[in-house]
């Protein structure tokens, strides 16, 4: 068995799905969950996702073999501070945050001598649904999990966390911290900002009821991720501010160019753009 006691701080979609996957594989003996809402924790226990729970992070983390921080990025620093006093020599720590530079900086500030046993991670999986009731054991199958080990990260810690994710059916890849944040700013954080902004823009237009009444499948597909947890994405945007602003500026420039093409009836440029985009999208989806 890979893990005797697993502590998951933040038993939602990601943390809950990880617990389900490891328990289904028979690779975890006991899962203790931690969160602020005791009713949510009771639900997780009733569903069999966790075996016990605490609302206090230090109590939950005590004597754990592996601690998974699945909290919003905005409380990550507090989580490091709260678990630090109860960490034992062999405890491994990892996270599932969507940005890595901010998390690495907070780990360096608060984990002290335990920093080598911290392995930053980011599963590229999820949905617009959230909470433990949306979790399922197969969430990570055939999905990528990015690990961004620090120069200080211990090799054995790295290998165990990689094996943990492999057990869930995920493909584990590695990236340098800053490169991760640049790539995810473009491929994940930017699309969420665009979806939220489009829905908000249309909601403020006149006759908005008519607008949403006639919105078809394309609108639903494009804006699906605007149903994601607002606070989580608020934290992600601020944590990855520099990389996200950079890609937003590039997109704003390109959007202005499209506006100019339409304004000036530049038929060929518009068709060329749409053709290039279709080809790339078909390559990706294929």
| Residue corresponding to tokens 């996702």 | 49
Q: Which of 135, 151, 175 is the last residue of a domain?
A: 175
Domain CATH code at residue 201: 1.10.3660.10
The predicted-structure confidence for 95-154, as pLDDT tens digits, reads as follows 999 999 999 999 999 999 999 999 999 999 977 778 999 999 999 999 999 999 999 999
3-class secondary structure, 118: strand
pLDDT of residue 65: 97
**pLDDT (average), residues 197-224:** 85
Q: Do 25 and 152 belong together in one domain?
A: yes
Q: Do 10 and 113 belong together in one domain?
A: yes
Buried b (16+ CB within 10 A) or exposed e, 183-214: ebbbebbbebbbbbeebeeeeeeeeeeeeeee
Task: Give the C-alpha separation, 64 to 57, whole Å.
Answer: 11
CA distances from 30 to 54, 70, 171, 257 (A): 14, 17, 25, 56
**pLDDT (average), residues 249-274:** 98
Range of the domain at 134: 3-175
Q: Is 255 buried (19+), middle (13-18) or exposed (0-12) by CB count in 10 A?
A: exposed
| Beta-carbon count within 10 A of 132 CB | 26
Assign 197 a pLDDT band (cuts: 50, 70, 90): very high
**pLDDT (average), residues 193-215:** 85
Domain CATH code at residue 104: 3.40.50.720
pLDDT exceeds 90 at position 56: yes
Please give the model's pTM, rounded to 2 decimal places: 0.91
**pLDDT (average), residues 207-215:** 76
Q: Which of 132, 152, 175 is the last residue of a domain?
A: 175
Q: How many structural domains is the chain composed of?
A: 2
Q: Do 183 and 171 belong together in one domain?
A: no
Q: Do 49 and 169 belong together in one domain?
A: yes
pLDDT exceeds 90 at position 37: yes
Q: Which of 175, 209, 231 is the last residue of a domain?
A: 175
Q: Do 169 and 194 belong together in one domain?
A: no
pLDDT of residue 213: 81
DSSP state of 98: S
Q: Do 123 and 263 belong together in one domain?
A: no
Assign 208 a pLDDT band (cuts: 50, 70, 90): low
List the structure tokens of 19: 């617990």
Q: Do 249 and 129 belong together in one domain?
A: no
pLDDT of residue 172: 98
Q: Angle at the Cα of 95 (from 136 to 77), degrees rounded to 5?
A: 130
Q: What is the dihedral of CA 108, 111, 117, 119, to 10 degrees?
A: -50
pLDDT exceeds 70 at position 267: yes
């Amino acid at each position: 068995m890979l893990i005797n006691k697993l502590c998951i701080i933040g038993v939602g979609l990601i943390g809950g799905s990880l617990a389900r996957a490891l328990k289904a594989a028979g690779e975890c003996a006991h899962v203790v969950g931690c969160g602020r809402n005791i009713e949510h924790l009771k639900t997780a226990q009733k569903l069999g996702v966790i075996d016990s729970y605490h609302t206090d992070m230090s109590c939950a983390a005590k004597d754990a073999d592996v601690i998974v921080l699945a909290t919003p990025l905005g409380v990550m620093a507090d989580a490091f501070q709260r678990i630090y006093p109860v960490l034992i020599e062999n405890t491994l720590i990892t996270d599932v945050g969507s940005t890595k530079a901010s998390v690495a900086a907070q780990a360096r500030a608060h984990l002290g001598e335990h920093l080598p046993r911290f392995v930053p991670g980011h599963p590229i999986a999820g949905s617009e649904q959230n909470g433990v009731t949306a979790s399922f054991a197969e969430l990570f199958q055939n999905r990528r999990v990015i690990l961004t080990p620090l120069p200080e990260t211990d090799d054995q810690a790295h290998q165990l966390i990689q094996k943990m994710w492999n057990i869930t059916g995920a493909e584990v890849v590695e990236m340098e911290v800053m490169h991760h944040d640049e790539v995810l700013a473009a491929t994940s954080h930017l699309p969420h900002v665009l979806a939220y902004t489009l829905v908000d823009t249309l909601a403020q237009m006149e006759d908005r009821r008519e607008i949403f009444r006639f919105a078809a499948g394309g609108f639903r597909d494009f804006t699906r991720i605007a149903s994601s947890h607002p606070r989580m994405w608020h934290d992600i945007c601020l944590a990855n501010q520099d990389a996200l602003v950079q890609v937003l500026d590039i997109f704003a420039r390109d959007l202005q160019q499209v506006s100019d093409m339409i304004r000036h009836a530049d038929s060929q440029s518009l068709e060329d753009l749409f053709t290039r985009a279709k080809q790339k999208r078909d390559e990706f989806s294929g």
